[in-house]
Structure 1
Amino acid sequence: MKKAIKYIHLVLSLPAGIVLTIICLTGAILVFDDEINQLINPSRYYVEKTTQAPLPLNQLIDIVNKQLPNNSVSEIQLHNDPERTAVATLKEGFRVSAFINPYSGEVLAISPYRETFFFKVMSLHRWLMDSSRTTGKWITGVSTIFMVILLITGLILWFPNKKKKIKSSITIKRKAGFNRKLYDIHKVLGAYASIVLLTLSLTGLMWSFDWYKNAVGRIFSIEMSEGKHGGGNTKGSRNEQKKNDVKAGSHSVIQWDAMLETIKQKVPKYSYIRLGEDKATVLPVDALHERATDIYSFDAETNEIKSVKYYKDENQRKMNGWVYVLHTGSWGGWITKIITFIAAIIGSSLPITGYWMFIRRIRKKHK
């Protein structure tokens, strides 16, 4: 039985190993993308501490729009932290962000997401930088399925069948030779990281295959809506945006302030509020995680709340939110992020140590 499992483990690891190393290594980098961005560009995310009150939102947006001759603010995100900058999403371009000093209205930086380092890392992680997002996405998806099987077969091969072998199964022999030490690193570290890597693999498949996503939805009795992952602005969405712009033409800057005050009355304790033309996305302070946001829709004529989509009441959003935070390791703060980062680094090393052992075996047989 173990011979067959070992054969499956070997056969699947050879074609998928390089891809899995890339996926795990890029995934490890993406775990701390926000933190790295804030460390490299602190002026984009923080302003000097001041006792001054932020500018009224209508005035702030007006000042910002004057600094953007070929663009304008579509959405704006405001943090409850007085030292954080405001972040505006601009109408023209795909996920173009403007970082704004909320006390002066100065645009500190403009960042198109597709030109950032982390977009390149993400595109390598998800579709191997394939511009069509088809073949590369399929390769990473199939490799991730292989990863699930490799982790399960690896755990079966690792599991000690005798009490005497327990100690050797959970420790790395420091005094052993290089090859033995490499074998222990592959076996022991792989076992330690296996549960986290399985979680990352099973959640990662949600972005690879619609059939898998729908199957997971059926398991949890959730009807999944149709949609493509990772799509940009389509022609249809641009036309829809233009219609919304015309419809919201009377949505004056005064209404931005009114929307903000309405939300603050509803949710006095929040981490951030993101305001759009006729909706507000709010992350309460006591939210379970960073994706547990509530969405308030406003009537464009009366500027009153016409409907609320609470995160706790929407099963599909709850599932997608938990999938995201489990995949990124952000569900438990710094501790789970560090654990996820270490597991991903170990995951990237497993194919390398596996290839080394395979090449060594081939050489040994040849001799």
Structure 2
Amino acid sequence: MTFRKAIGKLHLWLGLASGLIVLIVSLSGAVFVFQDDIRDLTQPWRKVEVQARPMLLPSVLQATATKAQPGFTASWTTYNGPDRSTAVYLSKGEEVYYAFLNPYTGQLLKVQNLKTDFFTIVQYLHMYLLLPPAIGKWVVDIAVITFVIMLVSGLVLWWPRNKAARKQRFSVKWEASPKRRTYDLHNVLGFYASALALVIALSGLCISYEWLMNGISTAVNGGRSIAPENAEPKADTLLTARPARPVVDVAYAYLRQQSPQAEMLLIGPVGKAAEPVWCTAYGQALHYYHRDEYRFHPRTGQVLLNQPHASKSPGKKLSDMNYDLHTGLILGFGGKVIAFMVSLISASLPVTGFLVWRGRHKHRKPHQRPALATA
């Protein structure tokens, strides 16, 4: 068996084994790319009128949120921008909600059950196939790793053997037979989308596997590990002195002072004495790359970490960029359109590949046995 035939066999059987999962993950990813845009169009409580006064402190907004959902605990609070409502994450056992409030007035705008939210379901479909996370994660990750191997093997099979074949590798012959069109769609679209599909697939794996992201970031740093930059500070639980106001309010004031240009602030969790209060200031609302990171002692409010974006190494900045790369956010709305199209093409590849394989076997005539001689 030649090398090319061996690659073809590998490509075929890996495709048949993982095709359905790749289809589901790609389609759900294509839908999720525009989640914020669709939410803004269908969920009016996400937007508020900008007012010429300071936003309310997180402790005030958390108190309003927990009053609306008795028995629930407020943990994370997200200030989503000057023209957007603030979201308080509420939980009680397996129940999880988002309370959306006007950050200027404290008015409760909406309490949303995340378990019945459409895009939360799409996200869990994308990440876990709606299976228990411990199982679904492995199933999806194995399928994505298989998809990466198939992209590489597909490029090997696509590579033209001669000049005549080269002319046929870059365009679809629409006037040809349906069988040939399907073959061209699989090869041509797969080629054009392969580089970006690899970026999306690998960035998704980096979300699942921190060691992979750290390895790539270390390589970008020329061998210098980003582990020290990722190290989480420890909170000294023996310290008992408390500030005159809630720690989340101390953290909020510090973020506003240190990162005055940040549009989006994430503060939490609260109520865990052994864990620092974890805070991030994002340069642009609903974008996650450019961010300043802070940690505070959960009892005293002491600053445990001050890590502005400008001080980070190139590898750490790449790590911060990973989610925006995965979703296309790094290039704004145009990048999301590209990610959407690449995801649709990725979803089409298992379908066209199966149709090509089925077409080759459907019309294959069975061997006819020679007639037995008769006396």
Pairing 1:272-291 to 2, within 5 Å after superposition:
272-276=264-268, 277=270, 278-285=277-284, 290-291=288-289
Q: Give the structure 2 partner of residue 321 of structure 1.
A: 320
Asked whether the equivalents of residues 61 and 253 of structure 1 are also in contact (C-alpha less than 8 Å), the reply is: no
Q: Does 1:37 align with 2:29?
A: no
Report the Cα offset of residue 362 of structure 1. 0.8
- Contact kept, 8 Å, 1:224 with 1:316, in 2: the verdict is no
Structure 1: runs of 5 or more not aligned: 226-242
| 1: CA distance, partners of 2:200 / 2:149 | 13
Distance 1:107 1:37, change over 3 A: same
Distance in 2, matches of 1:151 and 1:182, equals 18
Closer/same/farther in 2, CA of residues 290 and 362 from structure 1, 3 Å limit: same
Q: Cα distance 1:279–1:137, how it changes in 2: closer, same or farther (>3 A)?
A: closer
| Letter matched to residue 41 of structure 2 | L
Residue of structure 2 equivalent to 1:46:
47
> Max radius of gyration: which structure?
2
Aligned pair count? 348
| Distance change >3 Å, CA 248–CA 199, structure 1 → 2 | farther
Q: For the structure 1 residues 176 and 66, does the alpha-carbon distance in structure 2 shift closer, same or farther, using more than 3 Å as the test?
A: same
Alignment of 1:144-223 (within 5 A): 144-208=144-208, 216=216, 219=219, 221=223, 222=225
Matched, 1:7 2:6: no
Q: State the Cα RMSD in Å.
A: 3.6
Identical columns (%): 29
- Distance in structure 2 (CA, Å) of the matches to 1:74 and 1:191: 46
Residue range with higher mean Cα deviation, 138-147 or 188-197: 138-147
Match of 1:261 in 2: 253
Aligned residue for 2:306? 308
Q: 1:314 to 1:114 in 2, by over 3 A?
A: farther
Seen in structure 2, the aligned counterparts of structure 1 residues 69 and 142 have a Cα distance that, compared at 3 Å, is: closer
C-alpha deviations, 1:194-246, integer Å up to 9, x for none? 01111122222235567756765775653769xxxxxxxxxxxxxxxxx99xx
The 5-angstrom pairing of residues 115-126 of structure 1 reads 115-126=116-127
Whole-angstrom CA distance in 2 between matches of 1:279 and 1:213: 21
In structure 1, the partner of 2:74 is: 73
SS in 2 for 1:264: helix
User: Partner residue of 1:110?
Assistant: 111
Q: Deviations over 1:228-282 (max 9, x none)?
A: xxxxxxxxxxxxxxx99xx999666666555433322222211112234445321
| Contact 2:264–2:285 (CA under 8 A) maintained in structure 1 | no
Task: Evaluate the alpha carbon distance shift between residue 357 and residue 75 of structure 1 in structure 2; reply closer, same or farther with a 3 A threshold.
Answer: closer
Unpaired stretches in structure 2, ≥5 consecutive residues: 229-235, 271-276, 367-375
Distance 1:211 1:273 in 2: 27
